[in-house]
Structure 1
Amino acid sequence: MENSLHNPTNHSLLPSWNLLPSYNSTSPSTNSSRRSCCKWIGIVCNVFGSVTEINLTSSNLKGTLQYFNFSSFPNLLAFVLTNNSLYGSIPPQISNLSTLTNLNLGWNQLSGNIPFEIGMLVSLEVFWVHNNSLSGAIPVSIGNLSSLTFLALEENQIFGTIPKEVGQLSSLNQLYLFENHLSGSIPSAIGNLSKLSYLDLSTNNITGSIPKEVGQLSSLMLLHLYENHLSGSIPSSIGNLSKLSVLDLDDNNFIGSIPKEVGQLSSLMVLFLFTNHLNGSIPTSTGNLSNLENLGISDNSLTGNLPENICLGGKLKRISAYNNHFTGSIPKSLRYCNTLVRVNLKDNLLTGNISEEFGVYSNLYFMDLSNNKFGGELSGNWGKCPKLMTLNFSNNKISGTLSPELGKAIQLHTLDLSSNLLVGKIPEALGI
């Protein structure tokens, strides 16, 4: 083994590693060599002296797998070389590790294709090759890995389409393909993955619409599809994902309205739909999202009022709805939502008396309501927000004088009230 893997700075790690003898040999000397290797760092053996685990995570190894004698490890269960400096391709001979359940080669410099022979590792449960420079397509043979629960191919240069054979991975719990060069559409067969909890296909070149079969992923907790070229409307079937806590569809080309069925996602904590082409009003059913903490719907063409019960659950921390066409006043539930830390509603058509719209927020650090149609006088309550750092009410119709109480916001470093109808002097307490 030392012939293909070496540690250039810490020779004590692999003091006597050599290619292991063939397990076909039954000579006493072979048995002795086999048992002695069980004392090496990173090696685990069973009671018969057969190697069952090789784990050299973060061992500063450099080398290739081209000369690795895979056939010398017929009982290997775990092959873990993550976070090293391995380069070159994954040899097709890796298929000789027929008992392997855990293969982790992530955080290296591997290149070339994922070999078709990977599909022969039918006992594999965990397959990590993330953060490498792998290219080529995902082999269709991957559909043979019926025991696979975890598949991480993210942050490589993999291209081509997602093979429909992925839908055969009936045991799969987590699927990470983000930050590659994948194209084509999401196969409808992905709806067969009834045990899938985490699906991340973000930052690729995927096109087409979200297949309605995604609504069959009854165990799904996280769905990341952001930064692709997806189009069409958001399917109403997405409302079936009762366990979903994170839905991120931003930076795509979705059109149409937000389906009212989104309001059925009772476990949802994060809803990101920004930078699309969505229109129509936000369904009032979003007020049912009592666990919602982060709402991002900026950079669309949404109209109407903000949902009246948007903070009914009392957990909302961040809301970004800028650059839409929202009208009306701030919902009462948002006015008294003391969990808020960041609010950005700029570039809309919102109205109302600014002195009545908001209260005092113990954790708020950012508030931007610029480029709207708010009127009235600015309340001194903003000076009672101890963490407030940015307050931007520019380009509205705010009138009256500035309260000296604003000077009590000791963390405030950005205050923009330009292009309003203010009169009088700037209070000395503001230190301007």
Structure 2
Amino acid sequence: MMYSISKTRLYLATDSLDWMINRSIKQSLSLQDAVPLAAGEDSVPNNPVETLYIHIPFCHTLCRFCSFHKVKFQETLAREYFKALRQEIREVISRGYRFNRVYIGGGTTTILEDELIKTIELIKSLTTIREVSCESDPIYFSEGNPSQLKGLVDRMSIGVQSFDDVILKSTGRFEKFGSGEQQAEYVSRAIELFPTVNVDMMYGFKVQTADSVRQDLLQTMALNPDQITTYPLTVGIGKNRKKAGCLAGDPHELWPQFLAVKQTLAQRYEMDFPWTFSRNFGQPVKNKYVLDGEDCLGVGSGAFGRFGEQFRISSFDIADYIRLMNQTQSGTCYTKPLESKAVMQHHLMIMMGHGHLDNKVFKDHTGRSLWQAFPLEMSFLLASGAVVKQGDDYHTTEQGQFIALKMFVGFLSGMDHLREQARDLPLTSI
């Protein structure tokens, strides 16, 4: 009976949270206040930027649920794009930017292997990088030549999403990448080549249950990847909602599925966040999203960046982006101010995910206590049983971990919303 009451309260809390997140996204992540970035306005920070994010927007086929900036592959256009991309990287580094790590995402990053290799080699010839992470689809390790990336890529993240053939067929990935058994073989090949391999999984599909999620992750664990990233299918609030929504299951099924994720992976993996897990060797999972207040510079068409309370947006029109780089201009076309409240809410999500809301650290960082910054949010978290008070700090309960996960999915929805608006921004090079 106690479990039933607790579950009812949790569902009420998460339903309310979904409503609040959707409302907040539309208010704080509107691009109505985005302004064109004029030449010469870019100021280079004194310290190295944590991440250089590089976007490769080409795919052979387009997944139904993916909202990232992507277009159908055309080789001539793609080669022109890579040439322009390397020009932007040269410009960025020549202006004095330095980076700790590089993350290459897409799209399909390995769609032109030779161009990708040239791009990574260029970066390493111009500056010192601690780590290069690269996304890939599973089929690359069957049809490509991944050994050529050995020594260039430190961390390979493979988007499997599921080894369940029923889910692979419903999402159109069975025809693209093969059966779950075949994809498991491809992942095994990657693990032999790269120092760190992350397998990206998803749950929350219509046909999934807690037991099928558990079986999916047991199969993932059997491959022994270094890291596993797993979170619910993101439905979003805009145009992508209809496409992804037809694949999504009942949102109230996410709680038992999340518990299945935690309990299954706890056998051999440590939870860094409720959506990222590392094999017990103390190396945290990294991903493409700007987390924990880290600054990020994005290059390439459709890339985002963030510096403090300023958001930067590159052109989503590939021909426009190539023209910009042929004119030796910046690929960043627009900037948008971020409300300090939105930045602090992001920080709250990270603390929730870590499991510890440290009042002193937060006050040193923002000048406010948790209650001064978040009177409504803290009341909500306490009332829903998401956090418990310990001294001056708060610690996240298991229900709170789930709420942090829902906040992260809301963050992904917000990024989807930004991409939809960015596609409609006027071109700046004409």
- TM range, normalised to the smaller chain? under 0.3
Structure with the greater alpha carbon radius of gyration:
1
TM-score, normalised via structure 2 length: 0.24
